[in-house]
């Protein structure tokens, strides 16, 4: 009996057409890629072609063969398009080309556009990236609608791995910008800015230029989008007499559509750079800090006591808008330089929250955040015999710089307290006898020391040890090489300090070469500043903080080096859409617990200054668990415990100083203009004690004189006559003096708030709580302003409520702690947290939060 027509005809494909590409590791196929198509499983189809010949292929590509309109294209069309680009069709489906070439022509077929180079990437902005673009664009347009000549400013408080370069370009595109200037303190980040522009199809036709391009920017057609990248050091440095360098005159002649400040730490950056590199020897300090911060830029620094107009004072160029990028903008947030509607936040907490959410909602899909490891902070209290050697400072803390002090360089370097540093090495590998005896006496489990706990050892395969100076790095290298430290001989010790290691990024290639894929022998990188900013070594999974660091910017710039993802796409060579993650968590080990917890508190509160500090910290530690060893056991600390430790030693005097700080009030021109334009606000300000004595028109005078000085400087440039310079200097001195007086009067008002709080029974966490939960008559009696007037000035950002919130919270916590000793509960529902009130779960060590 004959077959039916259905049996004779081929079956209808049950899958959509897919394009695949693979390569073969053989001399005859070097540089060749096979491009084919199938409606079946790609892996099985390729096996049919290669298995019988005993060949193991590497699958490079497996994507749908679909255009944006839903129609499909074939592998023949892909190869034909490759040939039009001058690429050789060697034999049948084999092409002499790169994977990027294949991706680019597939993008052309999908979009119907002709692309130059290899603009093959087509990924869309992630949800948070699209949100950042929309919020910024909407804010810019709202300002321009009010005043078409206004120059708005916006801050992206976004940690590393947010995708700032790609997202910034998406913002520029959405604004219709054709002239974009990117200015950075870190020239080392140039590669990312260039790659993102030249690889993504969204930016086809855009021109990227920098000092390395060697092309005249003015030669670019006006309708062709131009991105120019440069460093502050190169673009804004001046000659010895203070003139703009001739080679950069063009920069000041272009009307830029958007200026982007990358790694914007502003006033904080110089201090951060100095702190990072202060351990280098004198010749290196100059070289390293010039890479990160050029002393020539001092002329552009703000007087932080009297905030003025940062964009015009700091960067004398013309633009429609400014975008500021930073992962640690603590100073900008603390000073209220940007109001809430000018800030987009993407913090470590946001990232880890989204990672968990995506895993729940899109189970089974490739998680775009999946490779970003969760951090753990582990602090260790040193034994008394070591504490006695180097306990000093304001809070009588363990001084890491003193403990690891050393002399000499190279083979002659040695620790001052060598025997005690040796005991420390024994402690971190669990071989210090007194600690073991104490644990046996107490019947407690052996605590998880870094190089002794089997759960931690995989994350110490490649670690970064952060020391106070070059001598300490060399001394540790020598000590680790001694016979008694045979345990550490399996790790390759890389000393990245001093002149021999090179300046800046010169120190990176030898480290990467030594670590290799990361799956071989282990490594320990010793540094006192090098490779702590702007570099990525994926295999680093832990950092040992062995030096005192004052600022949270510096601390977390270094700590986040170990939070970079370490994963491999297509690990088995047979699925380009698969990713293997080698580092689900990473560790920060710190041996000065009080200092470490204070840094964490400053980081958590600093990144969310408008929130209740305890709530901000509580969410942070849900994704960044803190484990503390108190000398006998390891326990987990909650947000309240961290705040208690962070505020230990705080005195009433120190709290009072918080209310005398210049950063509590804003007196820049924008703020003063808002007061001047609001009759009720102006009347309220004049009610502040001593304000009326400054004169009825003091605010107007400050604005007018400062605007006049700036306009004169901008129009005349370097052509000012000596007489004009003297006149400008006199006017500057006058308006700055008056601005200072305005600031002092506002601060005087702020100092009344603690007195007001003493007269109330309320000890809440935020300024809003303190003001709104009391009798308004008491507030007016003590401060001179009505609650309504105060709220109006807060809305106009005259007062920096974010910083005031922190001062109020510190006051509440300090007084709550003081009263608890007498058995008085200052406010119902408020509780103190003990440092070791919670018990650590064993899985906290290495299991990421769900």
Query: Which of the pair, 286 or 301, is modelled with greater confidence?
Result: 286
Q: Of 651, 677, 711, which residue is a domain's last?
A: 651
The model's pLDDT over 126-140, given as tens digits with 9 standing for 90+, comes to 999 999 999 999 999
Tokens 């001062």 belong to residue? 807
Averaged pLDDT, 542-564: 88
Q: Are residues 800 and 664 in contact, defined by beta-carbon separation less than 8 angstroms?
A: yes
Based on the fold, state whether residues 498 and 557 are members of the same structural domain: yes
Q: Is residue 244 part of a domain?
A: yes
Q: Of 111, 137, 170, which residue is a domain's last?
A: 111
Question: Is the pLDDT at 146 greater than 70, yes or no?
Answer: yes
Based on the fold, state whether residues 74 and 36 are members of the same structural domain: yes
Q: Is residue 382 part of a domain?
A: yes
Q: Is residue 164 part of a domain?
A: yes
Q: Is residue 144 part of a domain?
A: yes
Vertex 837: Cα angle to 831 and 838 (nearest 5): 120
Range 790-804 burial, b when 16+ CB lie within 10 A, else e: bebbbebbbbbbbbb
What is the pLDDT confidence band of residue 619, given thresholds at 50, 70 and 90? confident
User: Of 325, 401, 24, which Cα lies nearest the Cα of 154?
Assistant: 325
Question: Is the pLDDT at 838 greater than 70, yes or no?
Answer: no
d(CA 767, CA 609): 12
- Cα dist from 264 to 362, 608, 746, whole Å: 35, 17, 28
Based on the fold, state whether residues 647 and 670 are members of the same structural domain: no
Based on the fold, state whether residues 280 and 331 are members of the same structural domain: yes
Based on the fold, state whether residues 703 and 733 are members of the same structural domain: yes
Question: Is the pLDDT at 42 greater than 80, yes or no?
Answer: yes
Share of the chain above pLDDT 70, in %: 72
Averaged pLDDT, 379-406: 75
Based on the fold, state whether residues 589 and 689 are members of the same structural domain: no
Q: Are residues 782 and 759 in contact, defined by beta-carbon separation less than 8 angstroms?
A: yes
Q: What is the CATH number of the domain that holds 382?
A: 3.40.50.300
Based on the fold, state whether residues 234 and 98 are members of the same structural domain: no
Question: Is the pLDDT at 171 greater than 90, yes or no?
Answer: yes
Question: In terms of C-beta distances under 8 Å and separation of at least 24 residues, what long-range contacts does 833-836 make, across chains too?
Answer: 833/638, 833/639, 833/640, 833/641, 833/643, 833/644, 834/641, 834/644, 835/628, 835/630, 835/637, 835/641, 835/644, 835/645, 836/628, 836/630, 836/633, 836/635, 836/637, 836/641
Biggest distance spanned by C-alpha atoms of the chain: 113
- Host domain of residue 176: 127-346
What is the pLDDT confidence band of residue 298, given thresholds at 50, 70 and 90? very low
Helix 418-428 to helix 470-480 angle (10° resolution) is 70
Based on the fold, state whether residues 340 and 398 are members of the same structural domain: no
The model's pLDDT over 209-268, given as tens digits with 9 standing for 90+, comes to 887 776 777 777 777 899 998 877 677 666 665 566 667 777 777 889 999 988 775 444
Query: Which of the pair, 706 or 652, is modelled with greater confidence?
Result: 706
Q: What's the pLDDT score for residue 310?
A: 40
Q: Is residue 822 part of a domain?
A: no
d(CA 444, CA 454): 18
* Main-chain dihedrals φ then ψ at residue 251, nearest 5 degrees: -60, -35
Secondary structure in 3-state letters for 648-680: CCCCHHHHHHHCCCHHHECCCHHHHHHHHCCHH
Based on the fold, state whether residues 243 and 317 are members of the same structural domain: yes
Q: Is residue 831 part of a domain?
A: no
Query: Which of the pair, 345 or 609, is modelled with greater confidence?
Result: 345
Based on the fold, state whether residues 94 and 190 are members of the same structural domain: no
Helix 669-676 to helix 679-686 angle (10° resolution) is 100
Averaged pLDDT, 712-729: 68
Q: Are residues 610 and 802 in contact, defined by beta-carbon separation less than 8 angstroms?
A: yes
Based on the fold, state whether residues 401 and 516 are members of the same structural domain: yes
d(CA 848, CA 850): 6
Question: Is the pLDDT at 665 greater than 50, yes or no?
Answer: yes
Q: Of 619, 651, 683, which residue is a domain's last?
A: 651
Based on the fold, state whether residues 301 and 442 are members of the same structural domain: no
What is the pLDDT confidence band of residue 330, given thresholds at 50, 70 and 90? confident
Q: Is residue 537 part of a domain?
A: yes
Instruction: Specify the number of domains making up the chain.
Output: 4
d(CA 94, CA 21): 9
Q: Within 13 Å of residue 733, how many CA atoms lie on the same side as its CB?
A: 6
Question: Is the pLDDT at 141 greater than 90, yes or no?
Answer: yes
Question: Is the pLDDT at 414 greater than 90, yes or no?
Answer: yes
Q: Is residue 767 part of a domain?
A: yes
The model's pLDDT over 57-81, given as tens digits with 9 standing for 90+, comes to 888 988 888 887 778 899 999 999 9
Averaged pLDDT, 725-745: 78
Q: Are residues 193 and 182 in contact, defined by beta-carbon separation less than 8 angstroms?
A: yes
């Amino acid at each position: 009996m004959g077959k039916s027509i259905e049996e004779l005809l081929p079956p209808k494909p049950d899958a959509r057409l897919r394009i695949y590409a693979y390569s073969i590791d053989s001399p005859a196929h070097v540089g060749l890629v096979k491009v084919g198509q199938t409606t079946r499983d790609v892996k099985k189809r390729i096996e049919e072609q290669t298995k019988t010949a005993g060949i193991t292929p590497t699958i490079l590509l497996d994507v749908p063969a679909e255009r944006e309109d839903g129609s499909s294209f074939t592998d023949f069309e892909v190869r034909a398009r490759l040939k039009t680009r001058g690429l050789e069709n060697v034999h049948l489906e084999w092409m002499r080309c790169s994977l990027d070439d294949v991706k680019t022509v597939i993008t052309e077929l999908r979009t119907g556009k002709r692309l130059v180079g290899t603009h093959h990437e087509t990924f869309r902005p992630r949800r948070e990236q699209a949100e950042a673009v929309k919020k910024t664009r909407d804010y810019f347009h709202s300002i321009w609608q009010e005043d078409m000549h206004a120059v708005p400013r916006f801050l992206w408080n976004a940690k590393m791995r947010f995708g700032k370069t790609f997202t910034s370009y998406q913002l520029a595109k959405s604004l219709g910008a054709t002239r974009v200037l990117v200015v950075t303190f870190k020239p080392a980040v140039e590669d990312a800015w260039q790659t993102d522009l030249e690889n993504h199809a969204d930016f086809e036709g855009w021109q990227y230029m920098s000092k390395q391009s060697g092309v005249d920017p003015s030669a670019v057609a006006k309708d062709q989008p131009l991105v120019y990248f440069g460093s502050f050091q190169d673009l804004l440095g001046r000659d010895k007499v203070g003139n703009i360098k001739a080679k950069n005159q063009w920069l000041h002649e272009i009307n830029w559509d958007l200026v982007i400040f990358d790694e914007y730490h502003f006033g904080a950056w110089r201090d951060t750079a100095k702190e990072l590199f202060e351990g280098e020897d004198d010749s290196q300090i100059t070289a390293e800090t010039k890479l990160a911060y050029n002393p020539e830029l001092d002329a552009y620094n703000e007087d932080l006591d009297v905030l003025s107009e940062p964009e015009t004072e700091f960067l004398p160029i013309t633009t429609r808008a400014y975008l500021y990028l930073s992962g640690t903008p603590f100073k900008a947030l603390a000073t209220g330089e940007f109001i809430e509607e000018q800030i987009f936040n993407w913090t470590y907490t946001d990232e880890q929250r989204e990672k968990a959410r995506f895993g729940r909602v899109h189970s089974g899909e490739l998680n775009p955040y999946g490779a970003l490891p969760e951090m753990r902070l582990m602090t260790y209290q040193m034994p008394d015999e070591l504490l006695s050697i180097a306990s000093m400072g304001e809070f009588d803390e363990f001084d890491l710089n003193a403990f690891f002090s050393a002399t000499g360089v190279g083979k002659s370097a040695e620790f001052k307290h060598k025997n005690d540093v040796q005991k420390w090495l024994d402690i971190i590998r669990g071989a210090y006898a007194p600690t073991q005896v104490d644990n046996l006496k107490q019947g407690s489990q052996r605590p998880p020391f870094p190089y002794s706990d089997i759960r931690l050892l995989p994350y110490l395969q490649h670690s970064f040890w952060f020391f106070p100076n070059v001598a300490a790095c060399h001394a540790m290298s020598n000590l680790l090489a001694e016979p008694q430290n045979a345990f550490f001989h399996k790790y390759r010790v890389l000393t990245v300090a001093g002149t021999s290691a090179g300046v800046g990024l010169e120190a990176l290639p030898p480290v990467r070469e030594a670590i290799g894929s990361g799956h071989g022998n282990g490594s320990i990188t010793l540094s006192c500043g090098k490779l702590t900013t702007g570099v990525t070594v994926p295999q680093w999974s832990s950092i040992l903080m062995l030096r005192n660091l004052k600022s949270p910017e510096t601390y977390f710039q270094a700590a986040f080096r170990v939070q970079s993802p370490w994963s491999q796409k297509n690990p088995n060579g047979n699925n380009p859409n698969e990713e293997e993650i080698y580092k689900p968590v990473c560790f920060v080990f710190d041996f000065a617990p009080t200092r470490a917890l204070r840094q964490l508190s400053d980081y958590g509160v600093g990144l969310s200054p408008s929130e209740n500090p305890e709530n901000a910290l509580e969410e942070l530690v849900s994704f960044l668990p803190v484990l503390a060893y108190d000398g006998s056991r390891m326990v987990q600390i909650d947000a309240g415990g961290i705040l208690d430790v962070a505020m230990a030693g705080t005195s009433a005097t120190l709290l009072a100083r918080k209310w005398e700080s210049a950063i509590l009030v804003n007196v820049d021109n924008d703020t003063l203009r808002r007061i001047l334009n609001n009759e009720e606000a102006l009347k309220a300000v004049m009610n502040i004690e001593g304000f009326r004595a400054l004169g009825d028109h003091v605010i107007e005078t400050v604005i007018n004189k400062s605007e006049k000085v700036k306009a004169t400087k901008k129009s005349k440039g370097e052509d000012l006559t000596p007489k004009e310079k003297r006149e400008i200097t006199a006017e500057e001195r006058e308006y700055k003096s008056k601005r200072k007086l305005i600031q002092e009067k506002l601060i005087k008002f702020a100092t009344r708030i603690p007195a007001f709080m003493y007269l109330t029974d309320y000890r809440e966490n935020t300024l809003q709580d303190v003001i709104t939960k009391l009798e308004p008559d008491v507030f007016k009696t003590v401060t001179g302003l009505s609650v309504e007037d105060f709220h109006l000035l807060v809305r106009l950002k005259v007062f920096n409520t974010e910083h005031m919130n922190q001062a109020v919270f510190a006051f509440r916590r300090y007084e709550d702690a003081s009263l608890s000793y007498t058995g008085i509960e200052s406010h119902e529902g408020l509780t103190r947290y003990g440092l070791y009130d919670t018990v650590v779960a064993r899985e906290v060590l290495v299991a990421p939060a769900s």
